[in-house]
Structures are given as C-alpha cells and as structure tokens.
Structure 1
Amino acid sequence: MLYYLKIIVNTLQMLTLNGTLRINEFQQILYENQSIQIDKNVLETVEESFEFLKLFSENKIIYGVNTGFGPMAQYKIEDSERIQLQYNLIRSHASGTGNPIPPLYVKAAMLARLNTLCLGNSGVHKSVIELMVQLINKNITPIIYEHGGVGASGDLVQLAHLALVMIGEGEVMYHGEKQPTEYVFKKENLRPISIELREGLALMNGTSVMTGVGIVNAIFTRKLLNWMITASSAINEIVKAYDDHLSFELNQSKKHEGQRVIAKLMRAHLKDSTLIKKREHHLYNDVKNVDVFEDKVQEYYSLRCVPQILGPVLDTLNQVETILIEEVNSANDNPIVDVKNKNVYHGGNFHGDYVSLEMDKLKLVVTKTSMLAERQLNYLLNPNLNQILPPFVNLGKLGLNFGMQGVQFTATSTTAENQMLSNPMYVHSIPNNNDNQDIVSMGTNAALITKKVIENAFEVLAIELITIIQAIEYLDVKNEVSSKTKQMFDDIRAIVPAFKEDVVMYPYVNAVKDFIMKN
C-alpha cells in the first residue's frame, strides 16, 4: 500500500509525514521552522519499493538503472558500473548558473522532493529520505542556481545540485553563509546517502524545484492579495466613495465566486467606516434642480471595479494552489515503480507543463494586481483626478518640496517590468538533449519569473500604502477611517514617519515591502 504524505502534530510538536501535504503545512515548515519526521509505514513503503526494484531489474532493462540517460539510453550499463553511473549523472548535471535561489524556496523544493520520494514510486534507498529530513530540520539548504532548468525531464540541473549535496559534495547555505557541504556534514555529523540503485536519477528526475518555488509564490500572492484588498478599501474610504459597487446585491448578480468574496471582504473592511457614502443619501433625493453634480456620480474604475479586477486574481490563485498541491502529492519520476502490480512503467511524469501553465497564469494576475495598485497610486497623486489632495500628496511647500513624486517613477517602472515579464514561458519550448527532449515545459523559468513579478508587485503596493497613509495624514481622517484601515495606518506609520520635508525614500519603501511580505 502507498502512503501519501500528511502532516500530523504529535505530542513532541514534531510534524509526522504520512498523508497529503497541503499549503498550510508548507507554511508551518517553511515559515515556522517546524521540524518533521517520517511515519514508519512510509519508511516501510520506501524500503519495499527499493527491494522490489532491485530484484525486478536483475534480468530486465530499466531506464536509469542499467542504461545511460536521455538519448544515451541505448547504451547498456554493466553491473559493475551502475553505481558510478549515478555519480556521473549528478556531477555532470550540476551545471546551474546565475543567482542562487533563496533558501526559503530551496527548502520548499526539498520538501516537495521528499514528498514524492516517500510515495514509494521511485525505488530509492531509505538513506535518501533520512538525510533529506535531517537537512530540512537543520535548515541546511543546497546552493541551487536559477539558470539551467527546461522543465522536462523535470528540474534536472537544479535538482542535480540537491543530489550533489546528498552525496556530500557541492555547497550549502548554513547559518546564513555559503559553506562546503563536506565541512557542514562533518560539523553536524551527517552521512551522505548510499548510492545503491538509481538514487541519482530519482533525486533529479522531477518537478520539485518548479513546484516548491510555485508553492512559495502562491503563499506570497495570497499575502499580496490581502494587502491589495486593504489598500483598495482604504482608498475608497478616504475619497468618500459610494458603497453600492461593493454591495451584496450587485456582486451577487455576477456568478463568479472570486468577485463575490472580494466584495464581501471589502464590505467587512469598511463596516465601521464613517467616510463611505450611501448613494440614497446623496443622489436619490432632492436632485431635481441640479444640472451639474459637484461630486462624481461614479468612481474611476480602479476604485469602483476592484471586485471585478481582484476576483479573477483570487479564483486563479485558488486554482493554482490546487494544481500545485496535486503535483506535490504526485509521483513525478521516471520510470514509476509499482510494487502492487509488480511492474515498472516508463513514461513522462517528470514533465512540468501543469506547473508551467499555472505559473504563467499566476504571474498574469499578479501583474494585473500591480497595475491596479499603480493606477490607484496615480489617482491619489493627481489632484485633477481626486480633487481633494495636493499634487503628489505633498504635505510640504508646493514647488519646493516633491512629496511622493519620485517614488511614482519607481512604481511606474516596476509595473512596466511586470507587464514585460508576463509573456508566457509555457509556449517557449526549445528542443534540446539531441532532440530527445523535443518539447519541454520551461516550468522552472516560469516559476522563477513569477517570483520576480510577485516581488515587484510588493514594491508597487508598498509605495501605494505609504501614499495612502500620507493622504490620511493630509485629510486628517485617521479617526474617521475604519478600524482595519486605522490598523494599517498605525502599522505603516510605525515604519514611515509623516513627512513634509523631502526625505530619502528608498529605505522606507524597502522596509514597508519587507513588512507586508512578512505579514
């Protein structure tokens, strides 16, 4: 029987893996540094798979056990050379370049790889499971580089750097510093894995880096969305917008769940605000003798259409999370060991198209989120639009001081970069590997570019939030806004002081970005 991974908290506050791994368990392990252990039934499943493959492959040709790899699979490998074959694969493919992927994302990739190996479809020696658990618990993460993955056969190059560490070679991040693996293993009394059968290929042949990066992307996107709801609610509030565009009745008339949820969250945010207006109090009574209305009858789209804009973001994010978790809990190796049916199946479960497509979809909606933040920011900065604030929400002397003028350039530039980065990777397949890999997913690139788009979006939103609290300061309405907006005001004000004189802005933008990414 195959045991899927599930997280259960035992009395020792150790998370035991023995069922389905989900987003919230990733959060516990990645952000709360929760230690893990493997259920004994899972280890028995892994051992059973290993012993079966070892016996099954004695008189058969099994890819990656007694053959070369890729287009070199036509070459039979002698029994005496099988172990060396695995080492050769790991060392030759540890060829990534570019910037190192941050440890948080690498740890997520390790957890994703651990998960799939524990399903019992890979035939690995149990030492692989045992060492990876120790590395995760000790926050020892391999140095894995951004460049190198084409997304089929999975993340070969990036996962080769993980495998390199598993055999005691390469480099790791340890206590915030890059260290030789050999040194860290000696210091922590760790032993490299035992290469017994196909441990090199099993570690490398899968979608775990793109999926791990994708999981972290999804977690950050949900934070981004929550802050965008906060910002959108606050800006509607401070310009005293009408509330009917957020009404239950209007949004319920549209069938999309995301739109309904966003509107509901914004209504909850604004529940105790004294600034939001009721249309029936202003435009539905005593308007017979008015030719030109002093106040806008309807707000600009960036304020009025937030549920319709962020609704698709929420729906897409939910779908992305579903696909990623399905991938995490799938066997994405090749070949697949089936102990129950006493067979080994060759195919392409390593192909990353599912993840690649979801990452492209995610970066599209995140880019749209950054565009919404940029337009709301522009609305606040342009007095011809909002008609209640000074140019650039300048609290100083107009002409002498500049207020938020400088950071608008940053927001506009960063949003433009997101728009460019949102071109899809999913359809950018380039054949390689002597045309053995003649159509690939580019899923790793898709996930890493999405990571960049998300980070950019947080920068734009940080600038908008600073501008919102400056506007609240100018209008002197901090005691009239909703309690949720007041909490946001206090949180950001603790980082950024009210300023009339011009100040160097980049430390404040970076500090707010860091705060909202963590909260």
Structure 2
Amino acid sequence: MLLNKEKVQVGSFPLTLEDVVLVARNKHKVDIAEEQKEKVNRSREYVEKLLDDKKVVYGLTTGFGKFSDTYIPNDQAKNLQINLIRSHACGIGEPFSEDVVRAIILLRVNALLYGHSGIRLKVVETMVEMLNKGVTPMIPEQGSLGASGDLAPLSHLALVIMGEGEAYFNGERMDGGKAMRLAGISPVSLEAKEGLALINGTQVMTAVGALACWDALNLANWADYTSALTTEVLRGVRQAFEPETHRIRPHAGQQLVAKNITKITRGSQLMTNQGEIRVQDAYSLRCVPQVHGASRDALQHIHDKLIVEMNSVTDNPLIFVDEDKVISGGNFHGQPMALPMDYLSIAVAELANISERRIERLVNPQLNDQLPDFLTKEGGMNSGLMIAQYAAASLVSENKSLAHPASVDSIPSSANQEDHVSMGTIAARKAAKIVQNAYHVMAIELFSAARAAEYKGPEKLGIGTNWVYSFCRQHVPHQEEDHVMYNYFKQLADEMKDIEAVKALKEQLAV
C-alpha cells in the first residue's frame, strides 16, 4: 500500500517505487535529509582542493570522452561545464511526460546526495526547489545511448538549472529562465565538475523504468481479476487453480496467482468442476497461474534491480573523500538497467498476449459457452465487440515488435572511446509503451467480461469478480446496442492506474 506521507525525504532511507510515484505523479514535496548535506559539502570541498592542487582529473581539468587527455586550465573550468551542457543537449523527439521528468529529477537528487559527485549542495537544493515549486524541464525522449549514462536528456535538465533551455510551469511551455523566475527560483552558475555530475548517470532510463514497473506490478493484479471474471463467465473449471498442482511446481508467482484466482472466485455459482461441462479449459484460462505467475516473477526481479539502481551512484569520476581517491570507472553504463527493461517488455507483453486470447474466447460464438455472438443479442444489425477484439489484437501485435530487445545492440561513439553502449533508455521507453498498450488490452478484456456477466447473471459472480465487475460498471454503463466504445476503453485503462483504485485493488486482494 502507498505510504501516507506529506513529504518524501531523500537521503535518509533507500527510495522505493512508491516514493517515486508519490513525487512524480502525486506531486508530494521533497525534503533533503540533514545527514546527507554534510556528505555533499565534504565531497565539494575535496573537489576544490583538487583544483587548488592543479590535479589532472577527468571532467574536472580535462575534456570529455575522446578529449579526456586534453588538459583544461583551472581558469576555464566553469566554461568547460557550461560548454558541456550546451553541446550535449541534443535530445530529439517528443518531450517526456511530466511524471517521468519529475522522477528523473528525484532520482538524480538521490544519487548526488551520496556525496561521491563533487557537486555543491546549492545545486541539489535548486533541483529540489524545482520539484517543490513545479518547474518541469522539457526533456526530449530520444537521443540517449545509455552510456555514458543519459547524457543528452540529462543535459536538458541541466539547461533549466542554469536558466536556459525550456520548461513547463503552470501548464505552459516556456523559456527555462522565465519558468525559474516565475517560480521564484534562482538559476545556478555551474562550477567545476558540476555539469558532468548532473548528466553522467542512468536516471532517465531508471525513472522511465521505475514508473513502468510500478504500473506493471499493478497491472499483474488487474490481470488476475480480469482473467478470473473471464474464466467465470465462460464456466471455467475450478480444479486448475487448486493448490495441489501448484505445490509441486513451486514457482512463487504461479502459486500466488492460483491463490488469487481461487480467492477472487470464492462463492461463484458459475465456476464448474471437472467433467461437469468439460474436463479441462483452454490454455488461456487453465494456464493463467503459470503464465501470469512467470510474468510476476520477472517483475519482482525487475523491481529488485530498479531498487538497487535508484539508490546507486552512477557518475564518473567518483569522489571518495575518506580514501583520498578520485576514480574514473564505468558506473554510468546502463547495462544493469537495459537487460531488466527488455525483460519488462517481454513479461508485460505476455500478460497482454494471453488477455487478448481470452477476449477472443469471450466474443467468438464457437468458443464462448453459448454467449451471444460478439456479445450482442442482435448480431448483424449490431457488430457488438467484434472490433474491440481487433483493437486488442493490434496492440499485442505492436507489442511483439516493441519487445525486440534493445540491449543486444551497440553503436560505438566518441571516436570509439565509448565502444560499447547499453541502449538502456530505448529499452525502458519501449517497455513503458508496452505497459501502456497492455493496460488498454486489459481494459478491453474487463469491458468484454463485464458485458458477458450481464448475460450469465452478475448475482452469480464470486466475491472478487463481483467487485471488479462493479468497478467496471462504476465507469462504464451496460449498453446493449452498438455504441462508441473507445473512450470507455481509455477511461478503464486510466482508472486502473489511478492511485485510489490501486489501493482498493490491493485491499481486496488482502481480504
């Protein structure tokens, strides 16, 4: 369940997906833990000492990428950072949504507060002010290779911190400096190391992935409910979900889904026993625990990887004050996120795939247990849900193309200095699109199964299926004649993501 807190404090505890959602979507305020401020200050003091001692340090007194061997005098250190941001802000395409950008800022703040980046506390506090006062940088979606981190998109964030670029404020897109002025935030003049500290990291792919994973974990719950309703109205065989089968193949996700379906259909007058109508159901009904469960296990793995990455330092170079070291390494490389994001694509695509097959069973007169053809009583005059299944089929087909892994590709950059990159941000963006598509497929299944329930008798539904049927009817009235449905599909998909609906769903599962 979501934490009930007015502020999300960054630095005192590891960030969770719930924290990201609260800040990104619910606009909760952000506060910096006091104990982290000293770490940031000590790291900055160490950088100042390196400058005074005229040490040769990557990104501090050198150029970047292939120019890492080019020495930059101290008196040009500030210009070096400004040039870095302006030259690297090469994003392409449509802007990221507001929630994604807010998640990006939150995750970047969290990484900087570990005190290994050499940035001034003032810069971090400016980013927190942007979150709390509603200044959202315009960050294009495309242009990142996922190593060295998310350079191009994060540079668009840094531009606004400097009072440049573009941003959204009070719903209007405008000059970044104007947005900062209207919000009462003073732009920052970047100093040595700070530009690199702002843009060298994996926070864009991780932010996209965190929100997509949160939505996917909730979608897995909705998938259990919608599949249970479909199974019930198709007079499914209950024995497939009994615990004996799943005890001897003890995958955690499979056992959880079987338990959920049994709980959701408790009290049903529509579920059948083996041999009562048929001995066994088609795979899209009978194998829900195995299919949904495999996706759930994948999502748990992805969640765990995201938590590690959200609470990591992914800069280069890294400052280790206590050890008196500056180390140029590869924590910016996005591979630890690229693979989970490709896995997320596959896991969620499968939830949609099997959902579409259940939709087909609901509308197809050869498969739907004597329900009306395409769930309409006056077939011919009415087409019913014929084209709703087309739409679902189109989305799952699109998902199959999007699920092709991005992480298997790499194009060398920076004159082959950066000769292997992750494409992790592409992987995350594709995963997020698949999650969006899957919500619409699930909405079509719920819409269809709820209509089928009208013919079988809603009063015969189980406790949980009655709840999800009622949820659907709160937003979508039953209409027998043909009518325009696309807005209903969108409304259901949006309502499934709503934070209050998510809480209610989890409370139902806990009963």
TM category, shorter = over 0.9
Within-5 A mapping of 1:120-519: 120-279=115-274, 282=275, 295-395=277-377, 397-475=378-456, 477-518=457-498, 519=501
Moved over 6 A (4+): 7-10
**Contact kept in structure 2, 1:257 and 1:311, CA below 8 Å:** yes
Pairs aligned (count): 496
Quote how far apart the aligned CAs of 1:379 are. Answer: 0.6
SS across alignment from 1:184: helix
Which secondary structure does the structure 2 equivalent of 1:494 belong to? Answer: helix
In 2, distance between residues paired with 1:216 and 1:296? 42
Do the aligned residues in 1 keep the contact of 2:451 with 2:478 (CA within 8 Å)? Answer: yes
Say if 1:8 and 1:15, in contact at 8 Å, map to a contact too.
no
Q: Distance in 1 between matches of 2:3 and 2:430?
A: 33
- Counterpart code for 2:396: T
For residue 64 of structure 1, what is the aligned residue in structure 2?
59
Higher mean alpha-carbon deviation, 347-356 vs 400-409, is at 400-409
Equivalent in the alignment of 1:49? 43
Displacement of 1:437 in angstroms is 1.4
What is the CA-CA distance between 1:320 and the residue it aligns to?
Answer: 0.5
Deviates more, 1:124-133 or 1:172-181: 172-181
**Deviation readout 1:389-446 (Å, 9 max, x if unpaired):** 1211113x12111000122111111110000111000111111221111110001111
- Residue 286 of structure 1: aligned partner: none
SS at match of 2:389: helix
Percent of residue pairs bearing the same amino acid type: 36
Q: Which deviations, in whole Å up to 9, do the C-alpha atoms of 1:456-500 show, x marking residues without a partner?
A: 11111111111111101122x111102222222222123222222
For structure 1, which segment, 458-467 or 385-394, has the greater mean C-alpha deviation from structure 2 after superposition?
Answer: 385-394
Shift of 1:36: 1.6
Unaligned runs of 5+ in 1: 1-6, 284-294
CA contact (8 A) 2:235 2:369 kept: no
| DSSP 3-state at the match of 1:469 | helix
Specify the code of the residue in structure 2 equivalent to 1:321: H
User: Which SS does the other structure have where 1:178 is aligned?
Assistant: strand
Residue type of the alignment partner of 2:345: K
Q: Does the residue aligned with 1:251 lie in a helix, a strand or coil?
A: helix
Rounded to whole Å, the distance in 2 between the matches of 1:33 and 1:424 is 33
1:350-381 Cα distance to aligned partner (Å, 9 max, x none): 00001000000000011111101100000111
Q: Is structure 2 residue 59 aligned with structure 1 residue 79?
A: no
CA distance in 2, matches of 1:182, 1:299: 62
SS for the counterpart of 1:375 is helix
SS for the counterpart of 2:458 is coil
Residue 263 of structure 2 contacts residue 464 of structure 2 at CA under 8 Å; is this kept in 1?
no
Letter of the 1:38 counterpart: I
Question: Are 1:40 and 2:19 counterparts?
Answer: no
Q: CA deviation at 1:9?
A: 8.5
User: Greater CA deviation, 101-110 or 132-141?
Assistant: 132-141
Q: Quote the Cα distance in structure 2 between the aligned partners of 1:185 and 1:498.
A: 49
Give the superposition deviation at 1:328: 1.1
How far did 1:138 drift?
2.0
Answer yes or no: is the 8 Å Cα contact 1:431–1:437 preserved in 2.
Answer: yes
* 1:25 alignment partner in structure 2: 19
- Number of the residue aligned with 1:292: none
Amino acid at match of 1:77: I
* TM-score, normalised via structure 2 length: 0.94
Paired residue secondary structure (1:20): coil
User: Is the contact between residue 153 and residue 204 of structure 2 (CA under 8 Å) also seen in structure 1?
Assistant: yes
Specify the alignment match of 1:4 in structure 2.
Answer: none
TM value normalised by structure 1: 0.93
Between the aligned partners of 2:157 and 2:24, the Cα distance in structure 1 is 17
1:463 counterpart SS class: helix
What SS is found at the alignment partner of 2:367? helix
Q: CA deviation at 1:8?
A: 10
CA distance in 1, matches of 2:26, 2:497: 15
Cα separation, 2, equivalents of 1:219 and 1:85: 38
3-state SS of 2:482 partner: coil
For the residues of structure 1 that align with 2:31 and 2:480, how far apart are their CA atoms?
55
1:374–1:460 CA contact under 8 A, matched in 2: yes
Counterparts in 2 of 1:116 and 1:272: CA distance versus 1, 3 Å: same
Unaligned runs of 5+ in 2: 502-511
> Which of 91, 107, 125 lines up with 1:96 in the alignment?
91
Tell me, in whole angstroms, the C-alpha distance in 2 between the residues paired with 1:65 and 1:490.
Answer: 60
More deviation, 405-414/495-504: 495-504
Counterpart amino acid of 1:15? V
Task: Provide the rounded CA distance (Å) in 1 between the counterparts of 2:231 and 2:330.
Answer: 50
Per-residue deviation, residues 28-47 of structure 1 (Å, max 9, x unmatched): 22333221211221111100
After the TM superposition, which of the residue ranges 417-426 and 262-271 deviates more from structure 2? 262-271
Aligned residue identity for 2:256: V
The amino acid across from 1:389 in the alignment is L
Counterparts of 1:315 and 1:441, CA distance in 2: 24
- Asked if the contact 1:9–1:16 (Cα under 8 Å) also holds between the matched residues in 2, the reply is no
Q: Contact (CA 8 Å) 1:125, 1:194: kept in 2 or not?
A: no
